[in-house]
Amino acid sequence: MKERKSAMRNKEEGKIGWILLWLVGVPIPILLVLYLLRGCT
């Protein structure tokens, strides 16, 4: 149960990171390329 919560928290933090990059002004196509290069995790 504890591992599951940790995994969910990491996913949420990852999403927040992408949203912050977008808010800072990084264009969406660049974010998509970065996402694909990271391996879609």
Mean of the per-residue pLDDT values of the chain: 82
Q: Are 31 and 18 in contact (CB under 8 A)?
A: yes
Predicted model pTM: 0.61
Question: Which pLDDT belongs to residue 14?
Answer: 82
pLDDT, tens digit, 9 for 90 and up, residues 22-41: 999 999 999 999 989 987 65
Mean pLDDT of the region 7-32: 86
Question: Which pLDDT belongs to residue 11?
Answer: 77
What does each C-alpha distance from 25 to 4, 9, 10, 30, 31 come to in angstroms? 32, 25, 23, 11, 10
What does each C-alpha distance from 4 to 1, 15, 24, 25, 30 come to in angstroms? 5, 17, 31, 32, 31
Question: Which pLDDT belongs to residue 24?
Answer: 94
